[in-house]
Amino acid sequence: MNLRLLFLVGFFGVGSLLWAQTETKGDPIRVPLKMGVFDERSSCGNLMHQSVRGIAPLQKVPADQIKSTPKLQNPAYCRVKLGDREVLVIMDVESEAQKAKLYIDFEGKGLFETLEPVEGVDRRSGDGQYANFEFGPVTIPESPASFTVSCFVRKQPNLQFQSFQFHPRNYWAGKLPVADGEYSVFFVNGRLGGKFEPAKLAAGEKAFQKIYQDGATFIGIDFDKNGFLDFQKEVFPLAELMQVEGKYYQVRVADNGSEAQFQEVIPRLGVLDTQCPGLELFVLSEQCATLLAANESGKWELPAGKYIIRDFELHQQEDGVKWRLQGGNPGSAGFEIKPGEPTVIAFGPPLVLKYSMASRGGDAVGLDMALQGQAGETYRPKAERLDRRETGPKFTIQNESGEKLSEGYFQYG
């Protein structure tokens, strides 16, 4: 490890074993950052939407964590990780669901009776059946950042609490200068406190859900320079490496959010071969997060590591007409890329129609359909033609002898 890397480790925290598998190139690019506040006009609004965390209410009262409380009428409880610590939260709603209060035990003492509650505002005021209480902003201790909390409550026939939604209010923005000019870059600390750290992946098919539940640092890069972050292609969890203009950079953000550094590296690469021209994938490992753009081979080079798939689309062209199918479920839990080796996973056609039927009450019947590819991945049966969604699939009803009784088109639910 050279002196420059020792400086980076000292400034940004302990480095990872990734350095043993990469070679640095040139000096790091320093990007000063400024903190902003999300609002409805924020060009990076999709960054906030990605980092919202939904926490389900606890099924039982955590009595072991509570020493005293004020008089509560209709409480709900949840635990949420804020940075490196987990805190208990109590939301209390009056019997008529006209008012609500939120208590957050930042210090972990369980003395809720001494806490100053945050008053809630019902964003659905006047609705007789439902309320959507919003609390905050709440300032994070020892941090300039803040967050809001919302909870959807069903009033009748009995009070029922949905998940607690924790919304970061702050982002950090700067300009990344590279060969083709400057890119606007944004960060949000979805952990609601603590360091801006790369995502840690859990094992299994729910790895992405775990990231959103526990919170992670998210990065947005305006690759097309249109002043707006695309939800699927320009916003992703921060990993050890990010790809910009075909080059890989290790990204580090100072603990106080004042600066980011992009250090170009040359990682050890392997090949993902899907044998499916026109397939587009967004993949994530602890080593790398990147969008694999559709090409004519269905092959891409990737840094070594264990990957999971977040989004995918299938692009095909016929007689000059462009078609697109969006992915619904990646099927496989993931794949591994090994240095210098190909990883072959056959995706895409031939596609098989899978469906299930269920009664919706009365004479209504629901039909769920999906198109399944070779890897077990599924595509939503909502084809887009020339960037416009086609009408629903056509159906025909026949009797036992094959006589046509009726026909029509499905409506998307």
Helix H segments across 147-289? 207-214
Q: How far is CA 33 from CA 9, 255, 273, 304, in A?
A: 19, 12, 38, 30
pTM: 0.83
> Residue 390's pLDDT is what?
59
For 187-217, what is each residue's pLDDT tens digit?
A: 999 999 889 988 887 766 677 777 877 888 9
d(CA 7, CA 330): 40
d(CA 107, CA 122): 28
Mean pLDDT of 268-273: 95
The better pLDDT of the pair 177, 395 is held by 177
Provide the pLDDT confidence category of residue 413 given band limits of 50, 70 and 90. Answer: low
pLDDT cut 90: percent of the chain above it: 52
Provide the pLDDT confidence category of residue 1 given band limits of 50, 70 and 90. Answer: very low
For the cut 50, the answer to whether the pLDDT of residue 268 exceeds it is yes
Provide the pLDDT confidence category of residue 412 given band limits of 50, 70 and 90. Answer: low
The better pLDDT of the pair 165, 95 is held by 165
> Residue 7's pLDDT is what?
35
For the cut 50, the answer to whether the pLDDT of residue 8 exceeds it is no
Q: Pairing relation of β-strands 388-389 and 384-385?
A: antiparallel
For 324-381, what is each residue's pLDDT tens digit?
A: 888 878 876 689 999 999 999 999 999 998 877 777 766 677 777 788 999 999 988 7
Provide the pLDDT confidence category of residue 9 given band limits of 50, 70 and 90. Answer: very low
Structural domains of the chain sorted by starting position, each given as residue range(s) with its CATH number in brackets: 51-168 (no CATH), 268-413 (2.60.40)
> Residue 6's pLDDT is what?
35
The string of DSSP codes covering 305-340 is EEEEEEEEEEEEEETTEEEEEEEEE--SS-EEE-TT
CA-based angle 66:68:70, to the nearest 5?
120
> Residue 176's pLDDT is what?
96
> Which pairs with CB-CB distance under 8 Å and at least 24 residues apart come from 83-88?
83/140, 83/191, 83/192, 83/193, 83/194, 83/195, 84/193, 84/194, 85/193, 88/62
Query: How far, rounded to the nearest angstrom, does the alpha carbon of residue 61 sit from its chain's CA centroid?
Result: 29
Q: Pairing relation of β-strands 321-329 and 299-303?
A: unpaired
Extract the tokens encoding 188. 């949000």
Q: What residues pair up with 343 in beta bridges, in sequence order?
A: 272
